Amino acid sequence: MLILLIRKEVIYNRIIQNIDSSNIAPYMADLSTFQTWIADNSKPTAVLLEPQWPRVQEAKQLLGRLNVPVEEFTGQFAQAEAWLKKYSSNKTETLVATGKESSRPEVVEQVVQPVEEKNDDSMSHESPFSRKVMELHDNPLLKRRRSVPMSEIVQRKEAKSLLQDEVLSAPMQIPESIDESQPVVEEAPQPQVEQRIIERIIEREIEKPVYIREEVPTTLSPVFVIVVGLWPRAGTSLVSMCLAELLTCHLPDSSVALIEHPRQQPRMFDYFAFTETYTHWLENGRGTTLQRNGIELSPMKPGLDGAVDDERVVEYVYQQLRRPFTILDAGNNHEPSLLYELANHIVVVIDCDPTLLNIEGAAKAYHALVESYSEKLHVVLNKWTRFTDFRDQQSGEHLFPKAIPIPYLDPATVQEALWKGTFFAKKCEEDLRMLSSKLVMQWLPHDLRRKNRSQKSGILGRFKRK
């Protein structure tokens, strides 16, 4: 059996959609399920392992002990399909070569031919004595005696006669306790009864050991975030830049990658005013990134054709998943697809500007996202004011009860950052407090969360001696 250890089930289904899945194990989401499968089934033939799979190092150690070949899945669907076809064809060839292709084994009868007697003229005139000599000579189980010299035979006879004389000349010793008048009766030896050993075969079911450990996350699992707007210029680029900078405040440099969707306008290129030359990933498949304030940027290059399918975007996202966080500025591309299935979080940006507000036009797209990805959906109200009221006119219920508001940012701060081509989230930390506490802090592990608690002295603090 072939095993695919993929982080998302939708990617697993995409890989095997054109392959015969009869010799492929079912989808397994964690290491405990994988260990249980190995305990209940036979040793796998090969494993296709995604580097972002949870507890991937422990899985590699287990497969190394089993001597199972492992191939890494880096987002290339064509290579994964070729890998599956290769091992499937190898299995078929092995079955044909060993004769195990049919369901019922064939019984091969061996006919033993009688040995033909030799009809030789030389053997027909042999005497019985010579034939006996030949049989003794040809039999390897019979040992031939060596010839004994006459001197050795004489010495043996003399030694035997001397021993007999000594025995006859020696007086017979009779024990005192035995009376001479009474005959001595010797007890006949009792025959030994052979003990019968009765063997019993006891069959017991021996369960295979299953080693299940408690899941303790030792490293930061990669997180993929999509920021999408329900209509053009809703503020997806602004929210993407703010999320990237807020995450960088708690992580080392080059831990966050910010990608611009290929069907998006090259806003990042104009904002940062890049002067250095770079290669976009649409040109050679890999591309180069540009760094600003410790964030790896993949901006859309002007003049490139962005009409690409989602699978190609997914392949490039897999290359960036070696970092803890990958953020995709999807712009207005909100159609559910394979890219949205891969995402861990989807941030929907809604513009609260009353001059651009169009709830009826975006209601259909919003409900489509909610029905498909409600568990990982987050709503951000951009340009929020206290006069903004999203309520249903008939029922009076709030349309976005758990939305995160972002008010109008300071125009002077944003304009200065635009002139310099830098980020501005740190300077607007108070206005982005809700975005940081409800999204950024929830995505980070507890040991990486920065505690910004004000050092206030209690009532008794003022009476402490200095």
CATH (domain of 287):
3.40.50.300
Helix (H) or strand (E) holding 411: helix 411-420
Q: Supply the angle between the helices 56-65 and 31-40 in degrees, to the nearest 10.
A: 20
Which of the four pLDDT bands, split at 50, 70 and 90, describes residue 453? very low
Cα(427)–Cα(438) distance, integer angstroms: 19
Q: Is the pLDDT of residue 390 over 60?
A: yes
* pLDDT recorded at residue 364: 78
Which of the four pLDDT bands, split at 50, 70 and 90, describes residue 432? very high
- Cα–Cα separations (whole angstroms), residue 106 to 100, 249, 283: 10, 70, 58
Report which residue type is found at 125.
Answer: H
Average pLDDT over residues 272-276: 88
* pLDDT recorded at residue 435: 93
Q: Is the pLDDT of residue 205 over 70?
A: no
* pLDDT recorded at residue 343: 92
Which of the four pLDDT bands, split at 50, 70 and 90, describes residue 136? low
Considering the domain architecture, whether residues 374 and 236 belong to the same structural domain is answered as yes
Residue 127 lies in a domain: no
Residue 50 lies in a domain: yes
Q: Is the pLDDT of residue 357 over 50?
A: yes
DSSP 463: G
Query: Going along 45-201, which residue ranges are E strands?
Result: 46-49, 70-72
Mean pLDDT of the chain: 77
Span 229-246, pLDDT tens digits: 988 888 899 999 999 999
Which of the four pLDDT bands, split at 50, 70 and 90, describes residue 449? low
Let me know: does 91 contact 23? Beta carbons within 8 Å.
yes
Neighbouring residues of 205: CB distance < 8 A, sequence distance ≥ 6: none
Long-range contacts of 284-290 (CB under 8 A, 24+ apart): 285/315, 285/316, 286/319, 287/316, 289/257
Q: Of 31, 63, 98, which closes a domain?
A: 98
- β-sheet bridge partners, residue 55: none
Pair of tokens at residue 65:
């002990």
Residue 7 lies in a domain: yes
Q: Is the pLDDT of residue 55 over 70?
A: yes
Residue 150 lies in a domain: no
Sheet holding 70-72, edge to edge: 2-5, 46-49, 70-72
* pLDDT recorded at residue 465: 41
Q: Is the pLDDT of residue 219 over 70?
A: no
Which of the four pLDDT bands, split at 50, 70 and 90, describes residue 455? very low
Cα(436)–Cα(383) distance, integer angstroms: 16
Pair of tokens at residue 147:
């010839």
Residue 155 lies in a domain: no
* pLDDT recorded at residue 176: 53
Which of the four pLDDT bands, split at 50, 70 and 90, describes residue 18? confident
Residue 167 lies in a domain: no
Percent of the chain exceeding pLDDT 90 equals 24
Let me know: does 309 contact 339? Beta carbons within 8 Å.
no
Which of the four pLDDT bands, split at 50, 70 and 90, describes residue 461? very low
Residue 120 lies in a domain: no
Average pLDDT over residues 139-148: 55
Which of the four pLDDT bands, split at 50, 70 and 90, describes residue 376? very high
* pLDDT recorded at residue 100: 46
Q: Is the pLDDT of residue 216 over 90?
A: no
Report which residue type is found at 88.
Answer: S
Helices (H), 99-233: 121-124, 128-138, 150-169
Q: What are phi and psi of 316, to 5 degrees?
A: -75, -35
Q: Of 42, 65, 98, which closes a domain?
A: 98
Domain that holds residue 282: 223-448
Q: Is the pLDDT of residue 125 over 80?
A: no
**Lowest model confidence (mean pLDDT) among 14-23, 35-44, 160-169, 240-249:** 160-169
Write down the residue that tokens 């019922």 correspond to: 104
* pLDDT recorded at residue 336: 78
Write down the residue that tokens 């990805």 correspond to: 373
Residue 141 lies in a domain: no
Span 78-123, pLDDT tens digits: 888 888 888 877 655 444 444 444 444 444 444 444 444 444 444 4
Considering the domain architecture, whether residues 268 and 401 belong to the same structural domain is answered as yes
* pLDDT recorded at residue 379: 93
Cα(286)–Cα(77) distance, integer angstroms: 15
Span 304-333, pLDDT tens digits: 887 788 888 999 999 898 889 999 999 888
CB neighbour class for 334 (10 Å; exposed up to 12, middle 13-18, buried from 19): buried
Which of the four pLDDT bands, split at 50, 70 and 90, describes residue 298? very high
Q: Are strands 404-407 and 325-331 parallel, antiparallel or unpaired?
A: unpaired
**What is the tally of structural domains in the chain?**
2
